[in-house]
Amino acid sequence: MAFLLPAALCIVSGYLIVALGWRRRAFVLSDALLRVSLSVGYGLGIFSVSFFLARVFGLSHLVGVDVSVLALLIAAQLLLRGRNRVTDSLSSTTESFDLPPWLRGVAAAGFAIALCAALYSAVLRAIARPHGEGWDAYAIWNLHARFLFVGGDHWRDGFSTLIPWSHPDYPLLLPAAVAHFWSYLGHEAPAVPAIIGLAFTLSTLGLLFTSLDLTRGRMSAMLGGLALVSTPFFIEQGTSQYADVPLSFFFLAAIVLLFLHGDRSSSDDPAPRRGLLVLAGLAAGFAAWTKNEGLLFLFAVVVAQLPATIRRKSQAESGEEPAGRWIALAVLFLAMTPALVLIAWFKHSWAPAGELFSSPPEMLHWILTPGRYWTILQWYAKEFLRFGHWFLVPGTLLLAVLCFLTIAGPGRVKGRRLGPALWTLAFTLAGYFFIYVITPYDLHWHLRFSLNRLFLQLWPCAIFLFFLHLGPKNRAIVSK
């Protein structure tokens, strides 16, 4: 029961943040589920930030802090209620896959079976290894959570360079959220990080399913959901208490919300849709507060928006004045700013310098070593087919086959509309590549123990974009 109060505060705070950026009038189930899925991540994000700030400023009365945050969010709701134009909910969608009923039944049954299998596996894994599975769970994330929770005035000791492999420069979304719940419970319940891991796993699936359902119809949602939920590595990592699945959640949230913002099928006013930009910026900010890779993704999001902002030639094509496009970019960046300031403050004041950029001469030497590029390329190719721990047939290969078999299908979404999202993933992958080039660690060791998780971080986004591309665009889901 003691868990219910912080859980309720967390979800309600998250829901209020989502409602601030995305207001709707009518009730549609997928729409509501999408917002609930988003609320989990935003709630945990705000819980993490509020706990960290409470630690920094020595505030011990967490209930007071949480109620204050809640009151602020409610006040903002009331203040903006008259200003924000309410957006309609989606009333009907055109199915991307107009399949015969028997095949729709097979797909639905397949999704249901895969979902049950994933839940069974995830719950057993969480119970069997309550402290997490693997090195990073207890050497990094839960260790930092313990220092934040039981450290008292000495919580900063958790970022000591005497514990080098604990990556004391890693940001604190996950550890601080865990410590926030522990503070309510009064002890280090191992169930908390396990439940948070499960919550992020299910929210990522819910976000993927509902966003595809709203934009491409139920069949695309089921096939996309099936692709994710039947990826064994996604379930393994989701319950391992690592930060890669939470990171994938925020990546997907940012990509989905940016796509919804960019949806141009109706003659809608851009002003109310800027709330989606704010939510996308917050998601990218929370990604950066989750793991260092999130910082790379955040910059990739901004850079990927630039060509679309500069290149659009006519107002008719873009639906916005040129100044409006720059304002939109500024809004996105401003929404990222609180997280960037927090991360800069954390890295400057408490975290020691990371190892990656510790030796510029060595970095230069690695950059000028062509063999490293070839090695990394080979690993990228290999991991493309095996990172998901699939049985017999890789999921990536399956998507390629599905794409080939439906290649003559009409009504593909033009690449231009998906361009910023595709460029974001491409820049992020290129950034990962560059990090491997300059890594001070043994290259093979580093690739072996991290590349599959980096691919997993982008996997939900890749599935979302794949099924967006495969089907034609439905009616706008965000309209006046």
Partner 1 sequence: MPISPRSDGLPTRIAAGVLLFVLCCLLSSFWMVHDAPNPLHLGDDDVAARSDQRFTVMKSVLPSHGVVGYIGEPGNSGTADYYLAQYSLAPLVVDRSLNHPLVIANFPTSSASSLPQKLQLVRDFGNGVLLYASKDMK
Determine the length of the chain: 480
Contact predicate 207/34, CB 8 Å: yes
Question: Shortest Cβ distance from residue 247 to partner 1 (Å)?
Answer: 22
Locate 313 and state its tokens. 């030639």
Stretch that binds partner 1, among 94-102, 253-261, 328-336, 431-439 (CB under 8 A): 94-102
Residue 265 in contact with partner 1, rule: CB under 8 A: no
Site for partner 1 in 108-137 (CB under 8 A): 110, 113-114, 117-118, 120-121, 124-125, 127-132, 135, 137
Residue 224 in contact with partner 1, rule: CB under 8 A: no
Binding-residue total with partner 1 (CB under 8 A): 74
Element (H, E) at 366: helix 360-367
Residue 472 in contact with partner 1, rule: CB under 8 A: yes
Residues 6+ apart with CB under 8 A from 329: 302, 305, 306, 309
Site for partner 1 in 29-88 (CB under 8 A): none
Residue 191: Cβ within 10 Å count: 14
**d(C-alpha 249, C-alpha 255), whole Å:** 10
Q: Which is nearer to partner 1, 207 or 235 (CB)?
A: 235
Among 12, 151, 309, 419, binds partner 1 (CB under 8 A): 151
Q: Which is nearer to partner 1, 235 or 456 (CB)?
A: 235
Site for partner 1 in 177-216 (CB under 8 A): 190
Question: Shortest Cβ distance from residue 177 to partner 1 (Å)?
Answer: 17
Contact predicate 23/84, CB 8 Å: yes
Among 56, 76, 163, 429, binds partner 1 (CB under 8 A): 163
Among 146, 274, 325, 453, binds partner 1 (CB under 8 A): 146
Q: Which is nearer to partner 1, 232 or 431 (CB)?
A: 232
Question: Shortest Cβ distance from residue 151 to partner 1 (Å)?
Answer: 4
Backbone dihedral region for residue 186 (phi beyond 0: left; psi -120 to 50: alpha; all else: beta): left
Could you give the 3-state DSSP secondary structure of residue 302? helix
Site for partner 1 in 382-441 (CB under 8 A): 388, 390-393, 395, 398, 401-402, 404-406, 408-411
Q: Which is nearer to partner 1, 66 or 383 (CB)?
A: 383
Burial of 480 (0-12, 13-18, 19+ CB in 10 A): middle
**d(C-alpha 349, C-alpha 372), whole Å:** 34
- Nearest CA-CA partner of 246 in 255, 257, 234: 234
Question: Shortest Cβ distance from residue 143 to partner 1 (Å)?
Answer: 5
Site for partner 1 in 228-247 (CB under 8 A): 229-232, 235
Q: Which is nearer to partner 1, 151 or 338 (CB)?
A: 151
Stretch that binds partner 1, among 22-30, 65-73, 93-101, 196-204 (CB under 8 A): 93-101
Locus of tokens 């219910």: 4
Burial of 153 (0-12, 13-18, 19+ CB in 10 A): exposed
Residues 6+ apart with CB under 8 A from 1: none
> Which residues pair with residue 87 across a beta bridge?
24
- What's the distance, CA 69 to chain centroid? 23
Question: Shortest Cβ distance from residue 217 to partner 1 (Å)?
Answer: 8
Among 60, 68, 160, 359, binds partner 1 (CB under 8 A): 160
